[in-house]
Amino acid sequence: MAVGLQAGQGPDEASGDGFHPDCPGHVLFRHATSRWGIVLMTALRPGPQRFHLLRDRAVGISEKVLSQNLRELVRDGLVTREVEPTTPPRVTYALTSLGSQFTARLGAVLEWVGDHVPDVLDARRRYDEVG
Amino acid sequence: MAVGLQAGQGPDEASGDGFHPDCPGHVLFRHATSRWGIVLMTALRPGPQRFHLLRDRAVGISEKVLSQNLRELVRDGLVTREVEPTTPPRVTYALTSLGSQFTARLGAVLEWVGDHVPDVLDARRRYDEVG
């Protein structure tokens, strides 16, 4: 099981902390699984989307924060940004092959969570009853 | 694709924000994918573990924060806590069936990230070169 996410790290070091905050894999995971990262990656799963559609999907986000989140995902190689020289410029975002692979795996986690919310609520109720 | 994580929410509402901070699925996801959540869930994957082993695996964690993290995972129904009435008491944690299912899916994401760190570093280098 490859959970040593620090590039070039030996298995002994990795076993101490499988997810060091400084490692690039950790940063990637945080960008793509942040609240907005999840919304954006999920919105791009069916296909390329315009900036304004992403803004509408990420309810409550400011344009500045949306741009920051998209820039991180582009820099990580998960998302592409294409600008058509129209007036105003038309900006389209799409998942890269890397982004699609990540989003498929993340989607499996999110779908599982979505399907098991009742089990979690039951568990919490039982825990709180016992006190 | 079931990314509407709010229990009982219709598809139209869910499409606005697939991951609302107040929803129980979101809270579960955050507990189990926090820095320490990942370390603990991963440490429990091979089998039940004593409190002290988990403390050793989560390098840099305080016992208080470790206990808080474990309590959240137990409350969510992902982890069990068993106390043997020895002196001192022997406390053992283990993944529940729910926890095992979640951790298997999360593991697929983490393994993919671990395998693709070089691709992400390449992407960042290219992005930063273009400026």
Nearest residue of B to residue A77, measured between CA atoms? B123
Nearest to B78 by CA among B37, B34, B124, B118: B37
Number of structural domains, chain A?
1
Helix (H) or strand (E) holding A84: strand A79-84
Rounded to 5 degrees, what angle do the CA atoms A34, B112, B62 make?
55
pLDDT at position A50 over 60:
yes
Q: What is the pTM of this model?
A: 0.80
Would you call B59 an interface residue with chain A, using a CB distance cutoff of 8 Å?
yes
B50 inside domain: yes
Are the C-beta atoms of A55 and A63 separated by less than 8 Å?
A: yes
- Length of chain B as a residue count: 131
* DSSP assignment letter at B59: T
Contact B84, B92 (CB under 8 A): yes
Q: What is the structure's pLDDT at A92?
A: 97
B9 within domain boundaries: no
In sequence order, the 6+-apart residues with CB closer than 8 A to the CB of B14 are B3, B4, B5, B6
Nearest to A114 among B4, B75, B78 (CB): B4
User: How many Å apart are CA A101 and CA A99, to the nearest integer?
Assistant: 5
Confidence category of residue A36, pLDDT binned at 50, 70, 90? very high
Q: What is the pLDDT of residues A51-97, one digit of tens each?
A: 999 999 998 899 999 999 999 999 999 999 999 999 999 999 999 99
Task: Determine how many CB atoms are found less than 10 A away from the CB of residue A122.
Answer: 13
pLDDT cut 70: percent of chain B above it? 83
In a domain, B56, yes or no: yes
ipTM: 0.80
Q: Is A4 within the bounds of a domain?
A: no
Residues of chain B with pLDDT under 50: 1-18
- Name the 3-class secondary structure at B34: coil
Domain assignment of residue A102, yes or no: yes
For residue A109, what pLDDT band results from cuts at 50, 70 and 90? very high
pLDDT over 60 (residue A128) = yes
Judged by DSSP in three states, A94 sits in: strand
Q: Give the number of beta-carbon pairs within 8 Å between A and B.
A: 181
Q: Tell me, yes or no, whether A31 lies in a domain.
A: yes
DSSP letter at A89 equals: P
Range of the domain at B116: 20-126
Task: Give the CATH number for residue B65.
Answer: 1.10.10.10
